[in-house]
Structure 1
């Protein structure tokens, strides 16, 4: 039996696809799992390479292969001779899963939280009973909608205890630990790494014993952290001048103020779990941190709005020569005024559980809020309780 899994962005591939394929292979060892990655405006460019390293995945069809199949009818070899199987939608645009289902003559099922494309999917898997009731309200057939829980929870794997992490990375558990997550797209990380490290310098000045980790996404090579010239960063906001060095088999980022930040590769969940505070941009990791009960500060700089990925036509307009960037800049600012929250825990709660700093901001704004949070142990305790 063949299982075709359709997903594309970094958060979906690591947060949903990875735990799903692990469980599938555990239950059905002979099943053939093929992950199809359509184009995505949120992509890092490393999606295929990362998924090929999932041991449970047998074959990966990347964006270029998929587009050739979609528009030219050039069928990947892994699509041939398929008689039994299913197409599983785990994120992105449902259109691609529906098209693949029709062309292969296989049924399609979907993991989604909003009732869309009801006619085209045989089954829907949803987060909780509240999501199921939304489907029922839209006249979805009762026997087609199943509550399966949050795949993100299944994707959280801690290979070491906190004590083991302290020893492994040489951390002092008695002092503050801040984990920085600059994103999963290289073009974002190039700007956010210097920005967050400038904030870290300011925090260190006020709280000298604070320790910093930078949890690097598997979709971003560490060289991207220092790939952007300081003059380019300064066109957007003031960032730290950083260098990447290897010290005792561990990679570190250093700044001119002698700040050292340990670069964590491959143990992102451990880096979240030992932190007193996480400083990050919006994304799936905010949900992972919420399940771990770790306080967060989410920064959404709109200093360079044309660099922010958007869905649909708005995202495509940004690539139009000459005036595309200007139009996208206006769209982002227009949307920002109407979006109440950007962090997933806040969106789900319908209120601000974790603070968000949004707009044209500087590192000083992030540092000031982080220091305020760290100096309020009761506030951090309340946030932990609400997140859990």
Structure 2
């Protein structure tokens, strides 16, 4: 399997392997983590702790494995693309002789891909009829699984605001002070009885952010891990773009997506070939900030639910924004009548995609 950043590892790979483990323990899982501008640096460690994983090939060793090493593969197997660049999956297919199934990608590489695992029903007709299977969203599988909140993380008081800074600590020096300013304004001017939580990924430790602790006011309670529980407890989530945006939407919570670009624009990851230019001298400080601003003006949506459904699921605050602009958006969203609802077309996909994929993989390997 190939996976990319933290979103694919936590929201695609993990639910699939947990479902697969309940059906069989007679599989050998090798996970390949290609280079990725969205990587947090913790993907390998998280992956090694997942069930059924026998081997992990990280970005430092993947080229050597694909092009230099002699590898003996079992006689039967499958290449399962779950994220990254399809180039690595193509190469794995050629080297292993296994068929290639691709999850959640546009209908390209039709000659190389043996089966497209379609993530969203609205896209199904775009794929070749003989090479498509409507799987559904693996991330949604996580949200279909009920869980009991055994610990209350928010302090007494409402509304309950959850701030999610993402999984890339390189951006924390910019986003955490901004979040602190937003929380202070919300508390001081509009919601004096509110409670506030700053939710960090489970793979980070408090000591790793000791240099930033002075910038986090006591108003913001830091919690490490428990992201799903925090989302479930919250009344509104303030977050940067990422896979977690979809979890918030699936759980029916209100949210505002922020992308402040007035500081640290050289740290903003870019997709495709643009991301490869980060190795060039002077690129980060001189050219990249201008490009980021231009791309921000051209891109219609940055939040994943907004992009998937091409409509505003969450309001977005982007560019050279101020904390007060975010606070106004938060207040408007919190006071808006009605409930959050995804477009009805996706509600027809009700089967747990992780279990469905695990069944399909087991059936294929038993042939």
TM interval, short-chain normalised: 0.7 to 0.9
Measure how far apart 1:219 and its partner are.
4.5
Query: 1:69/1:170 Cα in 2 relative to 1: closer, same or farther (>3 Å)?
Result: closer
2:254/2:333 contact within 8 Å kept: no
Structure 2, gaps ≥5 residues long? 348-367
> With structure 2 as the length reference, what TM-score do the two structures score?
0.86
Structure 1 segment 1-388 matched on structure 2, within 5 A: 5-71=1-67, 73-75=68-70, 79-135=71-127, 140=128, 142-156=129-143, 157=145, 159-161=147-149, 164-166=150-152, 169=153, 171-172=155-156, 175-206=158-189, 207-228=191-212, 242-243=213-214, 254-255=216-217, 259-303=218-262, 304-374=264-334, 376=335, 379=336, 381-386=337-342
CA distance in 2, matches of 1:113, 1:383: 30
1:186/1:224 contact within 8 Å kept: no
> With structure 1 as the length reference, what TM-score do the two structures score?
0.82
Structure 1, gaps ≥5 residues long? 229-241, 244-252
C-alpha root-mean-square deviation of aligned residues, in Å?
2.1
2:164/2:238 contact within 8 Å kept: yes
Measure how far apart 1:218 and its partner are.
3.1
Q: 39-48 or 122-131: which moved more?
A: 122-131
Residue matched to 1:233 = none
CA distance in 2, matches of 1:386, 1:28: 34
3-state DSSP of counterpart to 1:6: coil
Across the two proteins, how many residue pairs are aligned to each other?
A: 341
3-state DSSP of counterpart to 1:132: helix
Task: Pick the structure with more strand per residue.
Answer: 1
**Alpha-carbon displacement from aligned partner over 1:3-48 (angstroms, at most 9, x marks no partner):** xx10111101111111111122222221111111111111111110
Query: 1:128/1:29 Cα in 2 relative to 1: closer, same or farther (>3 Å)?
Result: same
Q: Which has the higher contact order (CA 8 A, sep 6+)?
A: 2
**Structure 1 ranges of 4+ moved more than 4 A:** none
**Alpha-carbon displacement from aligned partner over 1:183-207 (angstroms, at most 9, x marks no partner):** 1111112321221122111111121
3-state DSSP of counterpart to 2:220: strand
Measure how far apart 1:348 and its partner are.
2.3
Measure how far apart 1:155 and its partner are.
2.5
